[in-house]
Amino acid sequence: MQGVLTLGQFIIENQSEFPYAKGELSRLLRDIGIASKIVNREVNKAGLMDILGEAGTMNIQGESQKKLDVFANEQFISALQSGGECCIVASEENDEFVYIDGEVSKDAKYIVAIDPLDGSSNIDVNVAVGTIFSIYRRKSSTGRATIDDVLQKGTEQVAAGYVIYGSSTMLVYTTGKGVNGFTLDPSIGEFCLSHPKMRIPKDGTIYSINEGNYVHFPEGVKKYLKYCQVEDPTSSRPFTSRYIGSMVADIHRNMIKGGIFIYPTTSSAPNGKLRLVYECNPMAFIIEQAGGRATDGFNRILEKDVHSLHQRSAIFIGSENMVHKAESLMSQYTKDQSDEKLNELLYKTGVIGGLD
Ligand code: AHG
Ligand code: MN
Ligand code: MN
């Protein structure tokens, strides 16, 4: 066991870096770690048990829930309930946020936002899935926490992390002082520090996007894809396309190898698909802490106003220079498009260009 540092040991050794009372956040992270091991066990058994298929209920997005979505949600909520450090859970799987009203939890200082199982449609085909979590400190100091405690900007996160249930299971998290990754050693049932001080390369050669939606993409995204596909040996283009369909797995790969993940607005989903509170904000916090960049194509994800629990956002996230390039094309072509529209309007109203 020499040289092995478990997640529990690491949290205790590094809690002097935590911004607030140290024990509470440590316990919260420990509780999330425990629940993720239980979820990991069930994900691994998914092919063996009668757990595949629809649970028969719909979440607020109108998507059918897999049984493992429901199971994972219950596990995280119950771990946070018994831990006593969290007063509200905001989950993808619950239409409204969930009060943890136990004797201990009602005055608890933290709020957890969670996507209990990300990429869940991949379960049926034995492809990596994940969990995403985000931790906020409640703003109100007395009484029951309110929706305003939940709807904080991403910049207010005190910690965020993800678990990837892949060829091995990893937990990666930040408390705002860099990013560390832990791999689950199934033989001892512990997450062990395997990726200390993770950094995403400034440049990369992988782009991840659901290209099937191409016709619905904004012009700037189409131009960026063309840029990725053009031959230019000096910048290692054409780049490689990789898309798993689990945001956690796609971003984790890009974090290690360098790359960009894009889920833009589309003409059919004008606000994007992914959810700001429990998908975009935590992943943006982690990637920024690893030296990368995360925007909605124009503005920093972490500074976006949060109006509702299940709010959606476009996301461009990954290696800093790749995201910058995509953003520059977004603003260039959005401007061109709006200039075109303006010119059309001015022409129609006779302000410019006459027929003669
Ligand atoms: P979830 O399973 O939590 O609903 O999230 C699925 C998300 C995300 O993980 C992935 O990147 C994206 O949906 C894939 O969407 P498309 O199938 O539209 O590409
Ligand atoms: Mn998700
Ligand atoms: Mn999910």
Per-residue pLDDT tens digits for 209-248: 999 999 999 999 999 999 999 999 999 999 999 999 999 9
Confidence at residue 49, expressed as pLDDT on a 0 to 100 scale: 60
Would the CB of 64 count as within 6 Å of ligand 1?
no
* Model confidence at 356: pLDDT above 50: no
Confidence at residue 354, expressed as pLDDT on a 0 to 100 scale: 42
Confidence at residue 130, expressed as pLDDT on a 0 to 100 scale: 98
Handedness of CA 15, 103, 306, 309 (dihedral sign): positive
Helix (H, G, I), strand (E, B) or coil at 198: coil
* Model confidence at 151: pLDDT above 60: yes
What is residue 262's DSSP assignment? E
The string of pLDDT tens digits covering residues 34-92 is 999 999 999 998 777 655 555 666 667 766 655 899 999 999 999 999 999 999 999 99
Two domains, one topology: 7-195 and 206-347: no
Please tell me the residue having the least CA distance from ligand 1 atom 12: 245
| Ligand 1 nearest atom to the CA of residue 261, by list position | 11
Would the CB of 116 count as within 6 Å of ligand 1?
no
Segments in the chain forming alpha helices (H): 7-14, 22-45, 67-83, 147-150, 219-229, 247-257, 281-289, 320-348
First to last CA, the chain: 86
CATH architecture, range 206-347: 3-Layer(aba) Sandwich (3.40)
What residues does each domain of the chain span?
7-195, 206-347
Please tell me the residue having the least CA distance from ligand 1 atom 14: 245
Would the CB of 152 count as within 6 Å of ligand 1?
no
Residue from 210, 248, 262 to probe ligand 1 pocket by mutation (most atoms less than 8 Å from CB) = 210
Would the CB of 161 count as within 6 Å of ligand 1?
no
- Quickly name the fold that domain 7-195 has: Fructose-1,6-Bisphosphatase; Chain A, domain 1 (3.30.540)
